[in-house]
Chains A and B, each alone.
Chain A
């Protein structure tokens, strides 16, 4: 009796192992079947997930804010300084923008439009060494498609990687699989931002000759299929020259706090 139970359990395990290896292989090859099953599964669980997320949200916000208290005073002083500079720039930039729009009209060029955005709520978060994603409560029925950019109140959060009918998965810019074309605002040099397992975001392909400084701002480039240009991404946090490497090792601090995402906006145009 015991040996037959043992034998049965081993057979079950072997079957499960083969089944899982087959599923992993199909998923790794990026099959459409896996993606559609994922989308349908997300849709089934979306209502429950949304309710549970709202229920636990006060507690998760409390725990997230505990970490934020460290270094708060230093951050406050830095922000005060930055605010003063930005207020000055805002006044100058407003008049430039008005002039720009009227010149565009005169030349028959399209005036800059505000983006068509859909405000969504985060209903789940999944992060480990190999991925960093959130789940939002809108999908294809709301006009959300794969590849669309997702922004928070301060800057870019990520890109939609999978969209079901009523929910979608957003890969954050800190995800190790994330890779996005950007521009350095001061020098207009093109680069690529990539996430990492540690959660840091790196700006790649900026050579030693390219002008870049700590505090420089990075924005999205114009080469994204769905992602508009000049969306704020982050600020240069550190620059290091690696011996033997023609490119610098640059860390970016994202403007958007990726650990405290609650409401986001999907850019639909």
Chain B
């Protein structure tokens, strides 16, 4: 992947971060929000590889926590782990099909929620089982909807020569 394109994609991730704080935070239902940064990190991992995805996720997560989070480092850890999970799942033989994309988003969203809950629990924060359960149920659906809206637009703008909903690896 060319250097210039990598820089462009990284800037896209930073833009997604700002849009997350200024727009998507207001589109909540049942206290659950669309995670635009996660979607973009997954897309970057699929296009640029695990190394690029993990580094981008780490930097974006750290910036998100520094701008808006209370505990710095959690989002950085989560997004880097997400990139690794996506890479491992693709290595295990997943193809570039719509169902694979849906499964990837579902898997990393669930992993996100559980890992964040675990870290917060270890740092003595209160964990509500009902909000956690609701999030485990609904957040993957929210993110999948967002993925279905964003990925085709990104694919068209990249002018990818592929006839399936997916990215070149």
| Interface status of A156 (Cβ within 8 A of chain B) | no
| Interface status of B87 (Cβ within 8 A of chain A) | yes
In the complex, are the beta carbons of B31 and A129 less than 8 A apart? yes
Residue-wise interface mask of A (1-45) relative to B, using a CB-CB cutoff of 8 A (1 in contact, 0 not): 000011011001100110111111011100000100110011001
Q: A49-B18, A124-B22 are in contact. Are A41 and B73 (CB under 8 A)?
A: no
What chain B residues lie within 8 Å of A5 (beta carbons)? 50
In the complex, are the beta carbons of A21 and B77 less than 8 A apart? yes
| A3-B21 Cα distance, complex, nearest whole Å | 39
| A42-B77 Cα distance, complex, nearest whole Å | 20
What chain A residues lie within 8 Å of B126 (beta carbons)? 176, 197
Closest to B64 in A: A126
What chain A residues lie within 8 Å of B71 (beta carbons)? 24, 27-28
Q: How many A-B contacts if CB must be within 8 Å?
A: 138
In the complex, are the beta carbons of B70 and A125 less than 8 A apart? no
What chain A residues lie within 8 Å of B10 (beta carbons)? none
| A135-B33 Cα distance, complex, nearest whole Å | 18
Among A5, A17, A126, the most chain B Cβ lie within 10 Å of the Cβ of A126
| A126-B35 Cα distance, complex, nearest whole Å | 12
What chain A residues lie within 8 Å of B55 (beta carbons)? 12
Majority-rule SS of A interface residues: helix
In the complex, are the beta carbons of A124 and B25 less than 8 A apart? yes
The size of the chain B interface, using a CB distance under 8 A, is 45
| A236-B31 Cα distance, complex, nearest whole Å | 22
From 59 to 108 in chain B, residues with beta carbon under 8 angstroms from any chain A beta carbon are 62-63, 65-74, 76-77, 80-81, 84, 87, 91
Selected contact of A23 from candidates B54, B62, B68, CB within 8 Å? B62
Instruction: Please give the distance in Å from A1's CB to the nearest CB on chain B.
Output: 13
In the complex, are the beta carbons of B21 and A23 less than 8 A apart? no
| Interface status of A257 (Cβ within 8 A of chain B) | no
What chain B residues lie within 8 Å of A9 (beta carbons)? 50-51, 54, 84, 87
Q: A28-B123, A197-B126 are in contact. Are A16 and B26 (CB under 8 A)?
A: no
Q: A17-B77, A130-B120, A176-B126 are in contact. Are A41 and B66 (CB under 8 A)?
A: yes
In the complex, are the beta carbons of B28 and A8 less than 8 A apart? no
A residues touching B (Cβ–Cβ < 8 Å)? 5-6, 8-9, 12-13, 16-17, 19-24, 26-28, 34, 37-38, 41-42, 45, 48-49, 52-53, 55-56, 59-60, 63-64, 123-131, 133, 135, 169, 176-177, 197-199, 259
With contacts A6-B91, A128-B33 known, what are 10 further pairs, Cβ within 8 A?
A5-B50, A13-B84, A16-B76, A20-B76, A27-B70, A27-B72, A42-B66, A53-B22, A176-B126, A199-B31
